[in-house]
Each structure stands twice: as structure tokens, then as C-alpha cells.
Amino acid sequence: MLLSKEYVNKVNRPEKILQFGEGNFLRAFADWMIHKINQETSFDGQIVVVQPIEKGLIELLNEQDGLYTLYLNGIKNGECMKEHVCIESISRGINPYIDHGEFLKNSRIRPHAICIIQYDGSRYIL
């Protein structure tokens, strides 16, 4: 069963962040942090994710309404912990290789917007 708004009571929030990349690091670190900020503060924002390479994960993320499960394992307050969290910080994803117009429309940085980019040294041409 895929995650979707049908099964999870996802809160729709304003799109305040444009993120280039949909890999594990960004989803498990940056997107998780935005999820926590939304839960614990009045930030109230979601992420629009741009797929940086032609073969990426945007289609899968969009099929799940931007939802995914994060598995956290570690030590918290001196105790071992394991936690599964449904992350709700992504509103949608854009594949600029298929929908270049949507990418251009959303690439205009709004005042006070946040942009997240993970650069691995690769050369991306859009």
C-alpha cells in the first residue's frame, strides 16, 4: 500500500521552499527538519522538490502525495530509540525534463522564500 492523503491526514501548507534534489540525505535530514519545524513552530510551510537528474524519484513521491516514512535509529537522552515517522513536508515534485514550464513557473524565488540545494559536484543541465 502506498502512502497517500487518503490514508494520512496531511495538512496542506503554503509552498515556501524550493528544493533541488530528492535523494535520501535531503529527505532524511532537511525535509525531516522542516517537518519538525512545522509541528513545533508557526513556520507553516511545505517544500516543492525539483528533480535534478533525468532519472529520479519525483514520480514516486508524487504518487504518494509527497509522503514518505523515515526510520530513525539512534540514541536520544542516553537511551536507544527507534522511531518511524510519516514525513509530510513535501507538497509536490517537479520533473523539469518532462514539465519544463512548471519548473520555470516555480523557479521564481518569492520574497522570504528558502532554497535548498545539495551539490555533489555533478554538472546538471536543465
Least trusted range by pLDDT, from 25-39, 64-78, 97-111: 97-111
DSSP tag of 59: H
Name, in order, each residue with C-beta under 8 angstroms of 48's C-beta and a sequence gap of 6 or more.
15, 17, 18, 19, 90, 91, 92, 93, 94, 106
The bridge status of strand 79-87 relative to strand 68-76 is antiparallel
Asked whether residue 126 carries a pLDDT value surpassing 50, the answer given is no
Least trusted range by pLDDT, from 15-19, 46-50, 88-92, 107-111: 107-111
Place of cell 540514541: 75
Cell of 126: 536543465
Q: What residue segments make up the domains of the chain, in order of their start? A: 23-97
- Give the highest mean pLDDT range of 16-20, 38-42, 104-108: 38-42
Report the candidate in 87, 75, 103, 79 with the shortest Cα–Cα distance to residue 37. Answer: 87
What pLDDT digit, counting tens, does each position of 20-56 carry? 999 999 999 999 999 999 999 999 999 999 998 889 9
Across 15-120, the runs of DSSP E, i.e. the strands, are 15-20, 46-50, 68-76, 79-87, 90-94, 114-117
